[in-house]
Amino acid sequence: MVPLVRLATLRDLDAIMCVDTQIFEKPTYPRVVWRQYFDLYAPLLFVAETESGEIAGYGVGAVAREERRGWILTMGVRGESRRSRYGRQIVDCLIKSMGRDGATSVSLTVKPTNEPARRLYEGAGFAEVGSEPAYFGEGEPRLIYQIALASRSKSLGR
């Protein structure tokens, strides 16, 4: 079965926060930030649902219009729903939507030790293009990944 990925609604915010807390063991953002993500980026705020309608994951994107560069701001999938294509479907929806929104490339950051996420992004066509030792402050290194959307479309035969 292909996971159902859809645009989030306001009613999904509490469930998104629960998934976020489960993944990261504490909320990464307060509810006000999730509400602002919804208000600012609703066309790029996706959730993945299980067959029973539970939220299995989420992803948020944004496009810097002047640069024509999309960013996957945050995404995550519940532990028990990993390796079931939820993450890949969310990434694909974000990339496709940002491309329609004018992005010619999409970037993201990932913790160097997060091998499952790195494999997910590399499998979707992203390549590591840099690193920053203190992206989120001291002791918070991140790798920077990017994908050119024109090359991805060509590789998918579009």
Per-residue pLDDT of 103-117, as tens digits, reads 999 999 999 999 999
91-150 tens-digit pLDDT: 999 999 999 999 999 999 999 999 999 999 999 999 999 999 988 889 889 999 999 997
Residue recorded with tokens 């989030």: 8
Residues 6 or more apart whose Cβ sits within 8 Å of residue 61: 41, 44, 45, 70, 71, 72, 73, 94, 97, 98, 106
Please, are residues 64 and 73 in contact by the beta-carbon 8 Å criterion?
A: no
Ordered by where they begin, the domains of the chain are 4-155 (3.40.630.30)
Predicted model pTM:
0.88
